[in-house]
Amino acid sequence: PVLADNVVATSQPLATQAGLSILQQGGNAVDAAIATAAVLTIVEPSGNGLGSDAFCILWDGKELHGLNASGRAPAAWSPERFPDGMPQHGWDSVTVPGAISGWIALSERFGKLDLKTVLAPAIRTAEDGFIVSPIIGALWARAADILGHQPGFAETFMPGGRAPRAGERFRNPGAARSLRMIAETKGKAFYEGILAEEIAAFAKANGGAMTVDDLARHEADWCGTISQRFDEVELHEIPPNGQGIAALMALGMLQHTAIRDHGPDDVAAIHLQMEAIKLAYADLHAYVGDREHMTDVDENALLDAGYLRDRAALISPDRAQDFGPGAPKQGGTVLLSTADASGMMVSFIQSNYAGFGSGVVVPGTGISLQNRGAGFTTEARHPNRVAGGKRPFHTIIPGFVMKGGAPLMAYGMMGGPIQAQGHLQLLLRTQLWDQDVQVAADAPRWRMISGLDVACEPTMGESTLSALRTLGHRVEVEAPDNAFGFGGAQLIARLPDGGYMAGSDPRKDGQAGGF
Protein backbone atom coordinates (compact mmCIF):
# COMPACT_ATOMS: atom_id res chain seq x y z
CA PRO A 1 0.00 0.00 0.00
CA VAL A 2 0.92 3.67 -0.42
CA LEU A 3 0.95 5.68 2.81
CA ALA A 4 0.76 9.47 2.65
CA ASP A 5 -1.18 12.53 3.77
CA ASN A 6 -2.73 13.09 0.33
CA VAL A 7 -3.56 10.09 -1.85
CA VAL A 8 -5.22 9.12 -5.14
CA ALA A 9 -5.98 5.57 -6.30
CA THR A 10 -7.18 4.94 -9.85
CA SER A 11 -7.12 2.39 -12.65
CA GLN A 12 -4.61 4.30 -14.83
CA PRO A 13 -1.32 5.95 -13.71
CA LEU A 14 -1.77 9.12 -15.76
CA ALA A 15 -5.10 9.72 -14.03
CA THR A 16 -3.53 9.18 -10.61
CA GLN A 17 -0.84 11.72 -11.48
CA ALA A 18 -3.46 14.23 -12.62
CA GLY A 19 -5.26 13.96 -9.29
CA LEU A 20 -2.04 14.40 -7.35
CA SER A 21 -1.08 17.45 -9.45
CA ILE A 22 -4.38 19.12 -8.59
CA LEU A 23 -3.82 18.42 -4.88
CA GLN A 24 -0.33 19.93 -5.19
CA GLN A 25 -1.87 23.06 -6.73
CA GLY A 26 -3.99 23.58 -3.62
CA GLY A 27 -7.05 21.66 -4.68
CA ASN A 28 -8.91 19.35 -2.34
CA ALA A 29 -9.98 15.71 -2.69
CA VAL A 30 -13.08 16.69 -4.66
CA ASP A 31 -11.05 18.73 -7.15
CA ALA A 32 -8.67 15.78 -7.45
CA ALA A 33 -11.56 13.37 -8.02
CA ILE A 34 -13.00 15.51 -10.83
CA ALA A 35 -9.60 15.93 -12.47
CA THR A 36 -8.94 12.22 -12.21
CA ALA A 37 -12.38 11.30 -13.54
CA ALA A 38 -11.90 13.65 -16.49
CA VAL A 39 -8.50 12.19 -17.39
CA LEU A 40 -9.93 8.67 -17.13
CA THR A 41 -12.47 9.52 -19.85
CA ILE A 42 -9.47 10.04 -22.14
CA VAL A 43 -6.96 7.36 -21.07
CA GLU A 44 -9.45 4.59 -20.26
CA PRO A 45 -12.20 4.91 -22.89
CA SER A 46 -12.78 1.17 -22.59
CA GLY A 47 -14.50 1.83 -19.28
CA ASN A 48 -15.88 5.35 -19.32
CA GLY A 49 -16.24 8.55 -21.32
CA LEU A 50 -17.76 11.99 -21.47
CA GLY A 51 -21.11 10.29 -22.03
CA SER A 52 -20.95 8.26 -18.80
CA ASP A 53 -23.11 8.21 -15.71
CA ALA A 54 -21.61 8.70 -12.24
CA PHE A 55 -22.18 8.33 -8.50
CA CYS A 56 -20.22 9.66 -5.54
CA ILE A 57 -20.00 9.28 -1.77
CA LEU A 58 -17.81 11.80 0.02
CA TRP A 59 -16.85 12.86 3.52
CA ASP A 60 -16.47 16.64 3.55
CA GLY A 61 -14.67 16.72 6.90
CA LYS A 62 -17.88 16.90 8.91
CA GLU A 63 -20.55 14.75 7.28
CA LEU A 64 -21.20 12.17 4.59
CA HIS A 65 -22.88 13.01 1.26
CA GLY A 66 -24.23 10.88 -1.57
CA LEU A 67 -24.65 12.05 -5.18
CA ASN A 68 -26.63 10.31 -7.91
CA ALA A 69 -25.54 11.61 -11.32
CA SER A 70 -27.20 8.94 -13.42
CA GLY A 71 -29.43 9.95 -16.31
CA ARG A 72 -33.01 9.16 -17.25
CA ALA A 73 -34.55 7.62 -20.33
CA PRO A 74 -35.54 9.88 -23.23
CA ALA A 75 -39.15 11.04 -22.88
CA ALA A 76 -40.16 9.12 -26.02
CA TRP A 77 -39.18 5.71 -24.62
CA SER A 78 -41.87 3.19 -23.71
CA PRO A 79 -42.06 -0.61 -23.51
CA GLU A 80 -43.71 -0.64 -26.93
CA ARG A 81 -40.57 0.83 -28.49
CA PHE A 82 -38.68 -2.35 -27.55
CA PRO A 83 -40.76 -5.39 -28.64
CA ASP A 84 -37.65 -7.60 -28.63
CA GLY A 85 -36.37 -6.40 -25.25
CA MET A 86 -33.74 -3.82 -24.42
CA PRO A 87 -30.88 -3.55 -26.93
CA GLN A 88 -27.29 -3.68 -25.69
CA HIS A 89 -25.80 -1.22 -28.19
CA GLY A 90 -26.77 1.65 -30.47
CA TRP A 91 -28.86 4.76 -29.82
CA ASP A 92 -31.73 2.80 -28.27
CA SER A 93 -29.47 1.81 -25.37
CA VAL A 94 -28.50 5.41 -24.52
CA THR A 95 -30.04 7.27 -21.59
CA VAL A 96 -29.12 10.87 -20.75
CA PRO A 97 -25.44 10.96 -19.70
CA GLY A 98 -25.07 12.21 -16.14
CA ALA A 99 -21.34 12.21 -15.33
CA ILE A 100 -20.70 15.80 -16.39
CA SER A 101 -23.53 16.99 -14.14
CA GLY A 102 -21.84 15.10 -11.30
CA TRP A 103 -18.56 16.91 -11.88
CA ILE A 104 -20.36 20.27 -11.88
CA ALA A 105 -22.40 19.53 -8.75
CA LEU A 106 -19.31 18.40 -6.84
CA SER A 107 -17.22 21.34 -8.01
CA GLU A 108 -19.84 23.96 -7.17
CA ARG A 109 -20.57 22.60 -3.71
CA PHE A 110 -17.18 21.37 -2.51
CA GLY A 111 -14.40 22.32 -4.95
CA LYS A 112 -11.66 24.85 -4.18
CA LEU A 113 -10.21 25.37 -7.65
CA ASP A 114 -12.01 26.66 -10.75
CA LEU A 115 -13.18 24.10 -13.29
CA LYS A 116 -10.75 25.28 -15.99
CA THR A 117 -7.81 24.43 -13.72
CA VAL A 118 -9.29 21.12 -12.67
CA LEU A 119 -10.02 19.98 -16.24
CA ALA A 120 -6.71 21.24 -17.66
CA PRO A 121 -4.89 17.88 -17.28
CA ALA A 122 -7.65 16.08 -19.20
CA ILE A 123 -7.68 18.70 -21.95
CA ARG A 124 -3.92 18.48 -22.30
CA THR A 125 -3.99 14.67 -22.36
CA ALA A 126 -6.70 14.60 -25.02
CA GLU A 127 -4.94 17.16 -27.19
CA ASP A 128 -1.33 15.99 -26.90
CA GLY A 129 -2.21 12.33 -26.70
CA PHE A 130 -1.09 9.57 -24.34
CA ILE A 131 0.56 6.18 -24.65
CA VAL A 132 -2.03 3.40 -24.44
CA SER A 133 -1.52 1.03 -21.49
CA PRO A 134 -1.66 -2.79 -21.80
CA ILE A 135 -4.95 -3.90 -20.26
CA ILE A 136 -6.85 -0.94 -21.69
CA GLY A 137 -5.33 -1.64 -25.10
CA ALA A 138 -6.54 -5.25 -24.99
CA LEU A 139 -10.08 -4.20 -23.99
CA TRP A 140 -10.05 -1.51 -26.70
CA ALA A 141 -9.30 -4.12 -29.36
CA ARG A 142 -12.12 -6.38 -28.16
CA ALA A 143 -14.58 -3.48 -28.22
CA ALA A 144 -13.54 -2.43 -31.72
CA ASP A 145 -14.46 -5.87 -33.03
CA ILE A 146 -17.95 -5.52 -31.56
CA LEU A 147 -18.69 -1.81 -31.91
CA GLY A 148 -16.72 -0.70 -34.96
CA HIS A 149 -19.91 -0.38 -37.03
CA GLN A 150 -21.76 1.81 -34.52
CA PRO A 151 -22.32 5.46 -35.47
CA GLY A 152 -19.15 7.54 -34.97
CA PHE A 153 -17.12 4.82 -33.22
CA ALA A 154 -14.47 4.09 -35.84
CA GLU A 155 -14.02 7.78 -36.64
CA THR A 156 -12.92 8.51 -33.07
CA PHE A 157 -11.55 5.29 -31.63
CA MET A 158 -10.12 3.38 -34.61
CA PRO A 159 -7.49 5.64 -36.20
CA GLY A 160 -6.10 3.95 -39.27
CA GLY A 161 -8.97 1.47 -39.21
CA ARG A 162 -8.09 -0.35 -35.97
CA ALA A 163 -7.88 0.13 -32.23
CA PRO A 164 -4.57 1.59 -31.01
CA ARG A 165 -2.28 -0.99 -29.43
CA ALA A 166 -0.49 -0.81 -26.10
CA GLY A 167 2.55 1.42 -26.50
CA GLU A 168 1.02 3.51 -29.28
CA ARG A 169 0.02 7.16 -28.87
CA PHE A 170 -3.66 8.13 -29.14
CA ARG A 171 -5.10 11.62 -29.44
CA ASN A 172 -8.70 12.73 -29.03
CA PRO A 173 -8.97 16.37 -30.18
CA GLY A 174 -12.77 16.21 -30.19
CA ALA A 175 -12.79 15.40 -26.48
CA ALA A 176 -10.38 18.30 -25.83
CA ARG A 177 -12.85 20.61 -27.58
CA SER A 178 -15.76 19.28 -25.51
CA LEU A 179 -13.85 19.52 -22.23
CA ARG A 180 -12.95 23.14 -22.97
CA MET A 181 -16.60 24.01 -23.54
CA ILE A 182 -17.62 22.13 -20.39
CA ALA A 183 -15.02 24.06 -18.37
CA GLU A 184 -15.93 27.44 -19.87
CA THR A 185 -19.71 27.02 -19.41
CA LYS A 186 -19.67 24.94 -16.20
CA GLY A 187 -21.38 22.12 -18.03
CA LYS A 188 -24.13 24.14 -19.69
CA ALA A 189 -22.75 23.45 -23.18
CA PHE A 190 -23.28 19.74 -22.58
CA TYR A 191 -26.90 19.93 -21.42
CA GLU A 192 -28.25 23.12 -22.99
CA GLY A 193 -25.76 24.47 -25.51
CA ILE A 194 -23.67 23.48 -28.52
CA LEU A 195 -22.79 19.98 -27.36
CA ALA A 196 -26.40 19.21 -26.44
CA GLU A 197 -27.48 20.27 -29.94
CA GLU A 198 -24.80 18.09 -31.56
CA ILE A 199 -25.81 15.07 -29.44
CA ALA A 200 -29.50 15.51 -30.25
CA ALA A 201 -28.85 16.08 -33.97
CA PHE A 202 -26.74 12.91 -34.19
CA ALA A 203 -29.45 10.98 -32.37
CA LYS A 204 -32.09 12.18 -34.82
CA ALA A 205 -29.90 11.34 -37.82
CA ASN A 206 -29.47 7.78 -36.60
CA GLY A 207 -32.96 6.93 -35.34
CA GLY A 208 -32.37 7.79 -31.68
CA ALA A 209 -35.01 9.36 -29.47
CA MET A 210 -32.87 11.71 -27.37
CA THR A 211 -33.65 15.41 -27.71
CA VAL A 212 -32.25 18.70 -26.46
CA ASP A 213 -35.19 18.80 -24.03
CA ASP A 214 -34.21 15.40 -22.60
CA LEU A 215 -30.70 16.70 -21.95
CA ALA A 216 -31.88 20.03 -20.54
CA ARG A 217 -34.21 18.34 -18.05
CA HIS A 218 -31.39 16.33 -16.49
CA GLU A 219 -30.00 17.15 -13.07
CA ALA A 220 -27.88 15.30 -10.53
CA ASP A 221 -29.45 14.56 -7.14
CA TRP A 222 -27.92 14.82 -3.68
CA CYS A 223 -29.50 11.61 -2.45
CA GLY A 224 -27.67 10.79 0.79
CA THR A 225 -26.67 7.22 1.58
CA ILE A 226 -28.17 4.02 2.95
CA SER A 227 -26.16 1.88 5.34
CA GLN A 228 -25.76 -1.43 7.14
CA ARG A 229 -23.84 -2.09 10.33
CA PHE A 230 -21.48 -5.05 10.80
CA ASP A 231 -19.96 -5.18 14.28
CA GLU A 232 -18.33 -1.75 14.81
CA VAL A 233 -18.38 -0.48 11.22
CA GLU A 234 -21.07 0.77 8.83
CA LEU A 235 -21.03 0.23 5.08
CA HIS A 236 -22.64 3.11 3.18
CA GLU A 237 -24.03 2.88 -0.35
CA ILE A 238 -26.06 5.06 -2.73
CA PRO A 239 -29.83 4.33 -2.57
CA PRO A 240 -31.51 2.64 -5.57
CA ASN A 241 -31.41 2.83 -8.65
CA GLY A 242 -28.01 1.21 -7.96
CA GLN A 243 -27.08 -2.28 -6.81
CA GLY A 244 -25.30 -1.13 -3.64
CA ILE A 245 -28.24 -2.25 -1.54
CA ALA A 246 -27.31 -5.86 -2.38
CA ALA A 247 -24.00 -5.48 -0.53
CA LEU A 248 -25.88 -4.08 2.48
CA MET A 249 -28.41 -6.91 2.45
CA ALA A 250 -25.72 -9.59 2.24
CA LEU A 251 -23.74 -7.92 5.02
CA GLY A 252 -26.86 -7.78 7.19
CA MET A 253 -27.46 -11.49 6.63
CA LEU A 254 -23.86 -12.40 7.45
CA GLN A 255 -24.25 -10.83 10.87
CA HIS A 256 -26.45 -13.82 11.73
CA THR A 257 -24.00 -16.48 10.54
CA ALA A 258 -20.81 -18.04 11.87
CA ILE A 259 -18.55 -16.12 9.47
CA ARG A 260 -16.56 -14.63 12.36
CA ASP A 261 -15.39 -18.15 13.25
CA HIS A 262 -13.50 -18.54 9.98
CA GLY A 263 -10.52 -17.01 8.19
CA PRO A 264 -10.71 -14.87 5.04
CA ASP A 265 -9.83 -17.70 2.64
CA ASP A 266 -11.54 -20.57 4.47
CA VAL A 267 -14.03 -22.48 2.34
CA ALA A 268 -16.72 -21.99 4.98
CA ALA A 269 -16.30 -18.18 4.89
CA ILE A 270 -16.40 -18.07 1.10
CA HIS A 271 -19.47 -20.32 1.03
CA LEU A 272 -21.39 -18.15 3.51
CA GLN A 273 -20.61 -15.01 1.47
CA MET A 274 -21.71 -16.66 -1.76
CA GLU A 275 -25.01 -17.77 -0.25
CA ALA A 276 -25.73 -14.35 1.26
CA ILE A 277 -24.95 -12.65 -2.06
CA LYS A 278 -27.28 -15.06 -3.92
CA LEU A 279 -30.11 -14.23 -1.52
CA ALA A 280 -29.45 -10.50 -1.90
CA TYR A 281 -29.27 -10.62 -5.70
CA ALA A 282 -32.52 -12.58 -5.94
CA ASP A 283 -34.26 -9.64 -4.25
CA LEU A 284 -32.17 -7.06 -6.12
CA HIS A 285 -33.38 -8.28 -9.52
CA ALA A 286 -36.96 -8.66 -8.34
CA TYR A 287 -37.49 -5.35 -6.57
CA VAL A 288 -34.88 -2.68 -7.37
CA GLY A 289 -35.18 0.08 -9.97
CA ASP A 290 -35.65 3.85 -9.98
CA ARG A 291 -36.36 4.74 -6.35
CA GLU A 292 -39.38 6.81 -7.37
CA HIS A 293 -40.94 3.70 -8.91
CA MET A 294 -40.24 1.25 -6.06
CA THR A 295 -43.72 1.76 -4.70
CA ASP A 296 -44.36 -1.71 -3.26
CA VAL A 297 -40.98 -2.71 -1.84
CA ASP A 298 -38.48 0.02 -0.94
CA GLU A 299 -35.01 0.03 0.62
CA ASN A 300 -36.43 0.10 4.14
CA ALA A 301 -38.27 -3.16 3.53
CA LEU A 302 -35.23 -4.79 1.94
CA LEU A 303 -32.96 -3.74 4.82
CA ASP A 304 -35.38 -4.55 7.62
CA ALA A 305 -33.39 -6.31 10.36
CA GLY A 306 -36.00 -9.00 10.92
CA TYR A 307 -36.28 -9.73 7.21
CA LEU A 308 -32.51 -10.08 6.82
CA ARG A 309 -32.37 -12.38 9.84
CA ASP A 310 -35.07 -14.57 8.28
CA ARG A 311 -33.24 -14.65 4.96
CA ALA A 312 -29.98 -15.58 6.73
CA ALA A 313 -31.75 -18.53 8.32
CA LEU A 314 -32.16 -20.02 4.83
CA ILE A 315 -28.38 -20.40 4.46
CA SER A 316 -27.08 -23.92 5.01
CA PRO A 317 -23.42 -24.24 6.06
CA ASP A 318 -23.26 -27.62 4.30
CA ARG A 319 -24.68 -27.06 0.81
CA ALA A 320 -25.16 -24.48 -1.93
CA GLN A 321 -28.72 -23.50 -2.82
CA ASP A 322 -30.54 -21.70 -5.62
CA PHE A 323 -32.68 -19.06 -3.93
CA GLY A 324 -35.66 -17.15 -5.26
CA PRO A 325 -36.68 -13.67 -4.14
CA GLY A 326 -38.17 -13.25 -0.70
CA ALA A 327 -41.23 -11.35 0.48
CA PRO A 328 -39.73 -8.29 2.21
CA LYS A 329 -43.15 -6.67 2.55
CA GLN A 330 -46.14 -8.72 3.48
CA GLY A 331 -48.74 -8.52 0.71
CA GLY A 332 -47.24 -7.11 -1.40
CA THR A 333 -21.68 -0.74 -11.56
CA VAL A 334 -14.17 3.39 -13.50
CA LEU A 335 -13.86 3.82 -9.82
CA LEU A 336 -11.43 6.16 -8.13
CA SER A 337 -10.74 7.21 -4.56
CA THR A 338 -9.09 10.40 -3.32
CA ALA A 339 -8.29 11.88 0.10
CA ASP A 340 -6.51 15.01 1.28
CA ALA A 341 -4.69 16.23 4.37
CA SER A 342 -7.74 18.19 5.55
CA GLY A 343 -9.66 14.94 6.05
CA MET A 344 -11.84 15.03 2.94
CA MET A 345 -12.34 11.58 1.37
CA VAL A 346 -14.06 10.72 -1.92
CA SER A 347 -15.31 7.51 -3.54
CA PHE A 348 -16.32 8.32 -7.12
CA ILE A 349 -17.40 6.02 -9.93
CA GLN A 350 -18.32 6.66 -13.54
CA SER A 351 -18.91 4.21 -16.32
CA ASN A 352 -20.15 3.65 -19.84
CA TYR A 353 -21.49 0.27 -18.63
CA ALA A 354 -20.42 -2.36 -21.20
CA GLY A 355 -16.93 -1.29 -22.21
CA PHE A 356 -17.36 1.65 -24.59
CA GLY A 357 -21.06 1.58 -23.77
CA SER A 358 -23.49 1.93 -26.67
CA GLY A 359 -20.68 2.25 -29.19
CA VAL A 360 -22.18 5.55 -30.33
CA VAL A 361 -19.70 8.45 -30.47
CA VAL A 362 -20.87 11.93 -31.43
CA PRO A 363 -18.60 13.12 -34.28
CA GLY A 364 -16.13 15.87 -33.47
CA THR A 365 -16.86 15.75 -29.74
CA GLY A 366 -15.12 12.65 -28.39
CA ILE A 367 -18.36 11.94 -26.49
CA SER A 368 -18.82 8.17 -26.26
CA LEU A 369 -22.28 7.42 -24.94
CA GLN A 370 -23.16 4.86 -22.26
CA ASN A 371 -25.63 2.02 -22.82
CA ARG A 372 -27.40 2.25 -19.47
CA GLY A 373 -30.76 1.73 -21.16
CA ALA A 374 -29.79 -1.94 -21.42
CA GLY A 375 -30.33 -2.05 -17.64
CA PHE A 376 -34.12 -1.64 -18.06
CA THR A 377 -36.57 -4.50 -18.44
CA THR A 378 -39.76 -4.65 -20.51
CA GLU A 379 -41.40 -6.98 -17.96
CA ALA A 380 -44.87 -5.77 -17.02
CA ARG A 381 -45.34 -4.36 -13.50
CA HIS A 382 -41.62 -4.61 -12.70
CA PRO A 383 -40.27 -1.52 -10.87
CA ASN A 384 -37.43 -1.38 -13.42
CA ARG A 385 -39.73 -1.44 -16.49
CA VAL A 386 -38.60 1.00 -19.15
CA ALA A 387 -40.43 4.34 -19.34
CA GLY A 388 -39.63 7.87 -20.46
CA GLY A 389 -37.99 10.03 -17.82
CA LYS A 390 -37.12 7.03 -15.65
CA ARG A 391 -33.71 5.97 -14.34
CA PRO A 392 -32.64 2.39 -15.17
CA PHE A 393 -31.19 -0.11 -12.71
CA HIS A 394 -27.48 0.62 -12.35
CA THR A 395 -24.50 -1.61 -11.61
CA ILE A 396 -21.97 1.10 -10.75
CA ILE A 397 -21.68 1.96 -7.06
CA PRO A 398 -19.22 3.84 -4.85
CA GLY A 399 -18.65 2.49 -1.34
CA PHE A 400 -17.76 4.14 1.96
CA VAL A 401 -17.07 2.76 5.43
CA MET A 402 -17.68 4.65 8.68
CA LYS A 403 -16.76 3.75 12.26
CA GLY A 404 -18.02 5.57 15.34
CA GLY A 405 -19.29 8.46 13.23
CA ALA A 406 -15.89 9.00 11.58
CA PRO A 407 -14.69 8.14 8.05
CA LEU A 408 -12.73 4.92 7.75
CA MET A 409 -12.48 3.90 4.07
CA ALA A 410 -13.44 5.23 0.62
CA TYR A 411 -13.45 2.35 -1.81
CA GLY A 412 -15.16 0.36 -4.53
CA MET A 413 -14.48 -1.40 -7.80
CA MET A 414 -15.38 -1.37 -11.47
CA GLY A 415 -16.72 -4.50 -13.09
CA GLY A 416 -20.49 -4.72 -13.68
CA PRO A 417 -22.21 -7.41 -11.63
CA ILE A 418 -19.26 -8.07 -9.31
CA GLN A 419 -19.41 -4.63 -7.74
CA ALA A 420 -21.74 -5.26 -4.80
CA GLN A 421 -20.15 -8.68 -4.35
CA GLY A 422 -16.72 -7.06 -4.38
CA HIS A 423 -17.78 -4.41 -1.86
CA LEU A 424 -18.73 -7.24 0.50
CA GLN A 425 -15.51 -9.18 -0.04
CA LEU A 426 -13.29 -6.11 0.41
CA LEU A 427 -15.13 -4.89 3.50
CA LEU A 428 -14.82 -8.25 5.25
CA ARG A 429 -11.15 -8.62 4.34
CA THR A 430 -10.25 -5.14 5.63
CA GLN A 431 -12.59 -4.88 8.62
CA LEU A 432 -13.30 -8.41 9.89
CA TRP A 433 -9.98 -10.00 8.94
CA ASP A 434 -7.78 -6.90 9.28
CA GLN A 435 -6.04 -7.13 5.92
CA ASP A 436 -4.47 -3.94 4.57
CA VAL A 437 -6.03 -2.36 1.49
CA GLN A 438 -3.44 -3.66 -0.97
CA VAL A 439 -3.62 -7.22 0.36
CA ALA A 440 -7.42 -7.04 0.07
CA ALA A 441 -7.14 -5.77 -3.52
CA ASP A 442 -4.66 -8.51 -4.44
CA ALA A 443 -6.60 -11.37 -2.84
CA PRO A 444 -8.47 -13.98 -4.94
CA ARG A 445 -12.08 -13.15 -5.79
CA TRP A 446 -15.22 -15.00 -6.72
CA ARG A 447 -18.37 -13.84 -8.51
CA MET A 448 -21.86 -15.28 -8.32
CA ILE A 449 -23.25 -15.69 -11.84
CA SER A 450 -26.74 -17.18 -11.42
CA GLY A 451 -28.33 -20.15 -9.73
CA LEU A 452 -25.55 -22.37 -8.42
CA ASP A 453 -22.99 -21.03 -10.91
CA VAL A 454 -20.03 -19.07 -9.54
CA ALA A 455 -16.87 -17.83 -11.25
CA CYS A 456 -13.62 -18.07 -9.31
CA GLU A 457 -10.08 -16.92 -9.92
CA PRO A 458 -7.53 -19.74 -10.25
CA THR A 459 -5.48 -18.16 -7.46
CA MET A 460 -8.10 -19.46 -4.99
CA GLY A 461 -6.29 -22.81 -5.25
CA GLU A 462 -7.48 -26.22 -6.36
CA SER A 463 -8.24 -27.52 -2.85
CA THR A 464 -10.58 -24.57 -2.18
CA LEU A 465 -12.25 -24.86 -5.58
CA SER A 466 -12.76 -28.61 -5.06
CA ALA A 467 -14.28 -28.06 -1.62
CA LEU A 468 -16.72 -25.49 -3.03
CA ARG A 469 -17.79 -27.99 -5.67
CA THR A 470 -18.36 -30.57 -2.95
CA LEU A 471 -20.77 -28.13 -1.28
CA GLY A 472 -22.75 -27.97 -4.53
CA HIS A 473 -21.39 -24.80 -6.12
CA ARG A 474 -20.97 -25.07 -9.88
CA VAL A 475 -17.53 -23.49 -10.10
CA GLU A 476 -16.20 -21.94 -13.31
CA VAL A 477 -12.53 -21.01 -13.16
CA GLU A 478 -11.87 -17.92 -15.25
CA ALA A 479 -8.40 -17.47 -16.70
CA PRO A 480 -6.27 -14.48 -15.66
CA ASP A 481 -6.74 -12.83 -19.08
CA ASN A 482 -10.43 -12.48 -18.20
CA ALA A 483 -9.62 -10.73 -14.93
CA PHE A 484 -11.87 -7.76 -15.83
CA GLY A 485 -14.76 -9.95 -14.70
CA PHE A 486 -13.36 -9.78 -11.17
CA GLY A 487 -13.35 -6.00 -11.06
CA GLY A 488 -10.79 -3.29 -10.47
CA ALA A 489 -10.69 -2.08 -6.87
CA GLN A 490 -9.33 1.23 -5.57
CA LEU A 491 -9.20 1.68 -1.78
CA ILE A 492 -8.17 4.44 0.62
CA ALA A 493 -8.26 3.83 4.38
CA ARG A 494 -7.85 6.46 7.07
CA LEU A 495 -4.98 5.78 9.50
CA PRO A 496 -5.51 6.23 13.26
CA ASP A 497 -2.83 8.93 13.60
CA GLY A 498 -3.80 10.80 10.44
CA GLY A 499 -2.89 10.24 6.83
CA TYR A 500 -4.02 7.38 4.63
CA MET A 501 -3.21 3.97 3.25
CA ALA A 502 -4.11 3.44 -0.42
CA GLY A 503 -4.23 0.36 -2.63
CA SER A 504 -4.85 -0.20 -6.33
CA ASP A 505 -6.02 -3.36 -8.07
CA PRO A 506 -3.39 -5.37 -9.99
CA ARG A 507 -6.11 -6.50 -12.39
CA LYS A 508 -6.06 -3.02 -13.91
CA ASP A 509 -3.35 -0.72 -15.28
CA GLY A 510 -3.63 1.62 -12.31
CA GLN A 511 -1.73 2.74 -9.27
CA ALA A 512 -2.08 4.45 -5.93
CA GLY A 513 0.04 7.54 -5.39
CA GLY A 514 0.50 10.12 -2.68
CA PHE A 515 2.62 12.80 -1.06
Active-site residues: which are they? 333
Q: Of 322, 353, 349, nearest to 338 (Cα)?
A: 349
How buried is 433 (Cβ within 10 angstroms: 0-12 exposed, 13-18 middle, 19+ buried)? middle
With beta carbons less than 8 A apart as the criterion, state whether 150 and 360 touch. Answer: yes
Query: What distance in Å separates the CA atoms of residue 229 and residue 235, rounded to the nearest whole number?
Result: 6
How buried is 310 (Cβ within 10 angstroms: 0-12 exposed, 13-18 middle, 19+ buried)? middle
81 secondary structure, DSSP code: G
Query: What distance in Å separates the CA atoms of residue 490 and residue 134, rounded to the nearest whole number?
Result: 18
Q: Can you spell out the DSSP letters for 138-170?
A: HHHHHHHHHHTTSTTHHHHH-GGGSPPPTTSEE
Query: What distance in Å separates the CA atoms of residue 513 and residue 231, rounded to the nearest whole number?
Result: 31
Q: How many CA atoms lie within 13 A of 336 on its CB side?
A: 41
Backbone φ/ψ region at 338: left (φ over 0), alpha (ψ -120 to 50), beta: beta
With beta carbons less than 8 A apart as the criterion, state whether 332 and 297 touch. Answer: yes
